[in-house]
Structure 1
Amino acid sequence: METKRSVYLQDMDQVRKVFNKFDADGSGTISLTELIDVLKALGSYTSDDEVKRMMEEIDTDHDGLINWEEFSSFCKSSDEDSSRAEEDLKEAFDLYDQDKDGNISSTELHQILNRLGEKCSVQDCTKMIQSVDSDGDGFVSFQEFKIMMSRSSQPDA
């Protein structure tokens, strides 16, 4: 029986980029403050208690910081975690879908990437969207978003 890998952040380069975005001071760890700051930059209205619970779940050595190993391990969802991964993916999608219409536009993508410090134009974002826009409507739906997130994941050999 072939096991199905989760679509959530399986590509280690992508995971490293996300980790580096969270690790704002470049210390090699993510503090509670950095976690809160990134979530706020993304427009998330996650309560401080909820962020603390997230931190406790990811911080397996309980030192108050999330290191690379803990972060990458957390991002490697197993089959048992696939429903959580789907929920996490939906939350990520919802952060980009600023107007809550069920689609990500190039303008929405541009706004979020700029908030995260990425330097790209609306035209760059349009090209990114075109690369995954399977129905040609000019937007990324949740289904297309899931496909985009899974494209770079490779099955274990």
Structure 2
Amino acid sequence: MATETNKPSVYLTNIDEVKKVFSRFDANGDGKISAEELVDVMKALGSNISAEEVQKTMTTIDTDCDGFINLEEFAGFCKGNAGEQDGGIKELEEAFELYDLNKNGLISSTELHQILTRLGERCMVDDCVMMIKSVDSDGDGFVDFEEFKKMMSNNSSNGDAGP
């Protein structure tokens, strides 16, 4: 495998985070994500994803063409091994929009809490406040797209998080 560790990535890079997200999508725990599971998670997040978009996403990520996304394929997608830098930004923007429930360009602790709750995560709003504080570089109490992008690209190293 080619190693592109010097190239900054706008994708999840921490394997524990990748596994956690993968397990959210893999509802039946069989080690692979089906198109149906992908649709279910997207609907839980409030997205009205079309059948065409699901098929396109499956085709992009399912590199062995078996009709399912396994952890290795998912991890490769998260690391940006597809090499599409612009595609990565588009994916990040779409992810950001899913969290930005009121569409004001900012993610609040309340919005983060609502999304995590929809995904079955048990956490308190205070936990979300702390998560946001850890990446809120301008101290406004919200995560804007630039902070979100930085959070996703620096996920493998906590040295940038700061107090």
Does the TM-score normalized on the shorter chain lie above 0.5? Answer: yes
Determine helix, strand or coil for the equivalent of 1:117: coil
Residue 14 of structure 2 corresponds to residue 16 of structure 1: no
Task: Pick one of 133, 140, 153 that aligns with 2:156.
Answer: 153
Task: Pick one of 40, 56, 59 that aligns with 2:59.
Answer: 56
2:160: which partner in 1?
none
Residue 133 of structure 2 corresponds to residue 130 of structure 1: yes
Percent of paired sites with the same residue: 59
1:119: which partner in 2?
122
Task: Give distance in 1, aligned partners of 2:149 and 2:82.
Answer: 16
Following superposition, the deviation at residue 151 of structure 1 comes to 2.1
TM-score, scaled relative to structure 1? 0.91
Task: Pick one of 76, 82, 88 that aligns with 2:85.
Answer: 82
Deviations 1:103-157 (Å, cap 9, x if unpaired)?
Answer: 0001100000000000001111111111111111111100111111122236xxx
Amino acid at match of 2:49: T
Task: Give distance in 2, aligned partners of 1:54 and 1:152.
Answer: 23
Question: Would you say the 8 A contact 1:42–1:115 is kept in 2?
Answer: yes
Task: Give distance in 1, aligned partners of 2:62 and 2:82.
Answer: 21
Task: Give distance in 1, aligned partners of 2:69 and 2:126.
Answer: 35
Question: Would you say the 8 A contact 2:13–2:155 is kept in 1?
Answer: yes
TM-score, scaled relative to structure 2? 0.88
1:72: which partner in 2?
75
Please list every run of 5 or more consecutive structure 2 residues that lacks an aligned counterpart in the other structure: 158-163
Please list every run of 5 or more consecutive structure 1 residues that lacks an aligned counterpart in the other structure: none
Task: Give distance in 2, aligned partners of 1:141 and 1:117.
Answer: 24
Change (3 A) 1:116 1:63: same
Following superposition, the deviation at residue 3 of structure 1 comes to 4.3
Task: Give distance in 1, aligned partners of 2:140 and 2:76.
Answer: 36
